[in-house]
Structure 1
């Protein structure tokens, strides 16, 4: 009997902490920042990709270029980890926008996708004309920095209605943990 009481207390504490964690996640409020404006780009898969592809899915977006010697490989590696984490979740998708459309041909994007283990349509690499990506980058996603080399290192979370819900620093583990929590929160509220 003396052993049973501590075991029951431990069990109750464990159950309580699980319920508290669930309650905390449900109480999370993620601000609605900006609606992603209309756009039409070409995917590395050859199809047209528009802002309507964000409908009914949680999307993580970033901005890269394939011959980037700096942050792009690190960002893509971290995006690949998140992509793999949600590999069975068809309602979570990933988009990498090329900020160097003059050099990032569709073939270059195909090879880049293959390099990062992209095996399905859940992660697409997009390109368009220079002016269109600059407009979307600055006015749609509200990011700064001269393209291509000065582009942002943010992951951008977009909800199922095409609304930007947050920006997350690829260099900070706490920020990436928060990104995963916010993905889960939005998924649970689809």
Structure 2
């Protein structure tokens, strides 16, 4: 897949996905369709899937392999390396933001703080916030930002790294908007989505992270997802 050249975040403004209603409706349709096809109360697995045929006990068996978040390497607010392995055996919520964003990011962080407080101390849950402005959002800036939010410990990590890799994982793995747009303030559009990921790195839900209703739904679905792993 060809990658789009992205414009740097120059004046640190952002546009929400109001201009991306078609995308949002498409995701909503996919979630509804997957839910309708579900035979139990489990959350659907979103994204592409591939039919794989293998031999089991001498018989040919076709199974579905679902899209998953690939390995990555970023740096946290503590200056250490964060990879996909850091989140092994966890469900987690991912989002994209930047610390100087004056529009949707403050709303998102208020809502994600609710999630943090609700699941604080739960060893099966993590939060992962990716900055889309790594040129400004250094390790020290992210650490101060986390501290100002009242975030301690390693349950909620704020990560920075190579800008192109951050945009790539947003668009191609988490299925959220992160692209150049010359009509948007700062030349960049990113979504206000929160993405729920299971322990197998499959995407299980995408939610509006700017509203209380959207995040209430996220927290309900997090409990549903955690229940899947109970004996």
TM-score, normalising length: structure 1? 0.81
Pick from 140, 162, 167: which aligns with 2:206? 167
Q: Please give the per-residue CA displacement for 1:16-56, whole angstroms capped at 9, x wherever unaligned.
A: xxxxxxxxxxx522111231112100111111111122221
Structure 1: tracts of 5 or more residues without a match: 1-26
Secondary structure of the 1:156 match is: strand
Pick from 132, 138, 145: which aligns with 2:165? 132
In structure 1, the residue matched to 2:111 is 78
Shift of residue 181 of structure 1? 1.3
Pick from 48, 61, 75: which aligns with 1:42? 75
Q: Please give the per-residue CA displacement for 1:103-125, whole angstroms capped at 9, x wherever unaligned.
A: 11111100110011111100000
- Over aligned residue pairs, what C-alpha RMSD do you find? 1.5
Q: Give aligned pairs, total.
A: 164
2:106 matched to 1:106?
no
Q: Which has the larger radius of gyration?
A: 1
Shift of residue 141 of structure 1? 1.2
Structure with more of its chain in helix, by fraction: 1
Structure 2: tracts of 5 or more residues without a match: 1-39, 47-66, 181-185
In structure 1, the residue matched to 2:45 is 32
2:121 matched to 1:88?
yes
Counterparts of 1:48 and 1:98, CA distance in 2: 15
**Structure 1 range deviating more: 165-174 or 74-83:** 165-174
In structure 2, the residue matched to 1:123 is 156
Counterparts of 2:116 and 2:169, CA distance in 1: 23
